[in-house]
Amino acid sequence: MTEPSTAWREVVAPDEEHRHVKQAEAFTAMQLRKSAEFGVGRALHRRQRVALRATLEVPADLPAAARQGVFASAATYEVWLRLSNGGFDVAPDSKPDIRGFAIKVLGVPGESVFGGPAASQDFALINHEHFSSSTSEEFTAITTGAGGGAVGVLKAVVRSPRIVGGLKEVVGAVRKPFGGFATEDFFSAAPIKCGPYAARVRVLAASTDVNPAAHEDWPADVYGRLATAPLVHEVQLQFFLDEERTPIEDAAATWDSPYVTVARLVIPQQEPDEAFAAKVEAARFDPWNAVVDHRPLGEVMRARKVAYRPSQENRGAD
């Protein structure tokens, strides 16, 4: 394994917190409008498609640098998964979108980033190796603008003309073909701490056998597979090496660093369970539900610290 470095640094702008509060307000305004239209729900990733019980199996023989946080020692953790369409609307599965793979690892040892014992370690992943925008500012302007339709985007561009370049990236990300939750890789896109190191997270596809009809109904594809066998995904870390190859503050950069397998995510055979799905819908999947050893890093992650909480409160999350 390439030796990871502990020389990562965060660079926090003095006015950042204020800008993040304004962004959270823009998401809240959009969320309340959309909730009036579709019923109470998340600001983004509104449409939950699949809720699953799983386990995270951490082996004993990991490389020393990887033995941090939930990967510190051999263990099997109970996991909840929420698989979602990323948009602010409730749209058919065939509509192009970002897809979310949110993981809640329960019963983790260690202190929460906010102090006290951690209730869970969450990983909120998407089907993109890097984020569509370098900063949360651009992402928020484009996304909340798009929440108002074509006129909303136009207004957002008039307000901040420099988002035009980023618009292409976001539209490209949304249009990326998606074959189904079992056959795609998912990524944290932004880094987290891994003890003294920093890393991005990847969950590998459980199968290469793509179902050409999956886009008609993502849940049917997942549960169809689970009717015959469990789904097993490898969980990997991609370590920070240096600022040039693995920049901390630029979420839109592709990291040039190898992936190291650190665990298996095992989804046992199961059928849809409405009561459990309702619990998952009401739960908080948030990268800031984290142990100290996996504190999120970088500007986009710091923006999420401010934006997710009001979205959770506005939907009466558990």
Residue 118 vs 124, nearer CB to ligand HEM:
124
CA atoms within 13 A of residue 179's CA, in its CB half-sphere: 13
Under 8 Å between Cβ of 240 and 257? yes
Quote the tokens at residue 8: 């990562």
Minimal distance, residue 74 CB to ligand HEM, in Å: 28
Minimum distance of ligand HEM from residue 135's CB (angstroms): 8
Which lies closer to ligand HEM via its Cβ, residue 50 or residue 58?
Answer: 50
- Helix intervals (H) in 12-147: 16-38, 136-146
Q: Residue 37 contacts by C-beta under 8 Å, 6 or more apart in sequence? A: none
CA 281 to chain centre: 15
Shortest spacing between CB 97 and ligand HEM, in angstroms: 12
Cβ(254)–Cβ(130) under 8 Å?
A: yes
Report the residue number, 16 or 234, with the smaller CB distance to ligand HEM: 16
Q: Which two tokens stand for residue 197?
A: 């190191």
Q: Which is nearer to ligand HEM, 81 or 118 (CB)?
A: 81
Which tokens hold the place of 148? 């108002």
Distances (CA, A) of 269 to 55, 85, 230, 232: 12, 23, 5, 11
User: Which residue's CB is nearer to ligand HEM, number 139 or number 239?
Assistant: 139
Nearer CB in complex with ligand HEM: 146/303: 303
CB of 307 to ligand HEM, least distance (A): 4
Tell me the closest approach of the beta carbon of residue 277 to ligand HEM, in angstroms: 12
Nearer to ligand HEM, 82 or 295 (CB): 82
Nearer to ligand HEM, 123 or 197 (CB): 123
Residue 149: strand, helix, or coil: helix
- Alpha-carbon distance of 215 to 217, in angstroms, equals 5
In angstroms, give the least distance from the CB of 28 to ligand HEM: 9
Q: Measured between alpha carbons, how far is residue 228 from residues 221, 231, 268, 269, 273 in Å?
A: 12, 10, 10, 7, 17
Write the DSSP symbol of residue 208: S
- Shortest Å distance, C-beta 86 to ligand HEM: 7
Place of tokens 């109970």: 78
State in angstroms the smallest separation of the CB of 176 from ligand HEM: 14
Give residues with Cβ within 8 angstroms of 171, minimum separation 6: none
Amino acid at 111: E
Which residues make up the interface to ligand HEM (CB under 6 A)?
23, 27, 42-45, 82, 84, 100, 102, 124-126, 131, 136, 139-140, 188-190, 251, 284-285, 300, 303-304, 307-308, 311-312, 315
